[in-house]
């Protein structure tokens, strides 16, 4: 089972990204659950979402304490929270960063999700929205197929720039 913990800030699209990850996985014929965890909802506040993906029905509905993957949509969260807590050595980390970041002991991928969102016009109230670009990055590392990613995005969004952002992240992600 893939157990994913996604760290974001309110307004970045992290909760929607979790739903999209589950939907894309479902499109690939897998079982998936997605659940957010946050306090008083407000723009900029840290938000954690949990996603489980498996070939078999999922009967666990709780927070994820020992993830197989960690996704960080805003690396400044790493200054205030230990996003790697519980992640086993060799675990997968996906970071929103324009420059490669290496984290000793982990398989780390960096992609400029913010730059992609800005280039494709995914901006709400002046803030880049990162939910669809991260779906493309996750398809690149093989969490689900790029076709399933595109199908999930088209189910939730009609604006083509969402698929364009996901495809840009897919192409720019170095694996």
Residue-wise pLDDT tens digits, 143-155: 999 999 999 999 9
CA–CA dist 129, 115 (Å, integer):
10
pLDDT tens digit sequence for 22-44: 999 999 999 999 998 876 667 77
Of residues 115 and 39, more confidently modeled: 115
Q: What is the mean pLDDT of residues 6-16?
A: 92
What pLDDT is attached to residue 39? 66
Cα-Cα-Cα-Cα dihedral of 148, 150, 153, 155, to 10°?
-70
What pLDDT is attached to residue 73? 97
What pLDDT is attached to residue 41? 61
Instruction: End-to-end CA distance of the chain: give it in Å, rounded.
Output: 21
Q: What is the mean pLDDT of residues 104-110?
A: 96
What pLDDT is attached to residue 174? 83
Q: What is the mean pLDDT of residues 87-115?
A: 96
Question: What is the rounded average pLDDT for all residues in the chain?
Answer: 94
Phi, psi of 64 (to 5 degrees): -105, 120
Q: What is the mean pLDDT of residues 46-70?
A: 95
Pairing mode of beta strands 123-124, 127-128: antiparallel
Domain boundaries, the chain: 2-172
The domain 2-172 is placed in CATH, from the list 3.90.245.10, 3.40.50.920, 3.40.50.280, 3.40.920.10, at 3.40.920.10
Assess contact for 6 and 63: CB atoms under 8 A.
no
DSSP state at residue 72? E
Q: Say what percent of the chain tops pLDDT 90.
A: 87
Assess contact for 106 and 91: CB atoms under 8 A.
yes
What pLDDT is attached to residue 40? 61
And the tokens for 157? 């969004």
């Amino acid at each position: 089972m893939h157990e994913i913990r996604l760290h974001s800030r309110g307004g970045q699209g992290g909760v929607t990204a979790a739903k999209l990850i589950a939907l894309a996985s479902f499109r690939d014929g897998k079982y998936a659950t997605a659940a957010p965890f946050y306090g008083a909802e407000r723009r900029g506040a840290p938000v954690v979402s949990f996603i489980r993906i498996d070939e078999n029905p999922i009967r666990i509905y709780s927070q994820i304490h020992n993830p197989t993957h960690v996704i960080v949509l805003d690396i400044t969260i790493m200054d205030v929270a230990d996003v790697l807590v519980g992640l086993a050595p060799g675990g997968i980390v996906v970071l929103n960063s324009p420059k490669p970041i290496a984290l000793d002991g982990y398989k780390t991928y960096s992609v400029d999700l913010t730059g992609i969102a800005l280039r494709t016009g995914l901006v709400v109230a002046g803030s880049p929205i990162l939910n669809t670009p991260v779906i493309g990055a996750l398809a690149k590392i093989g969490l689900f197929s790029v076709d399933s990613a595109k199908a999930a995005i088209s189910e939730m969004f009609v604006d083509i720039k969402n698929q364009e952002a996901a495809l840009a992240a897919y192409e720019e992600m170095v694996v």
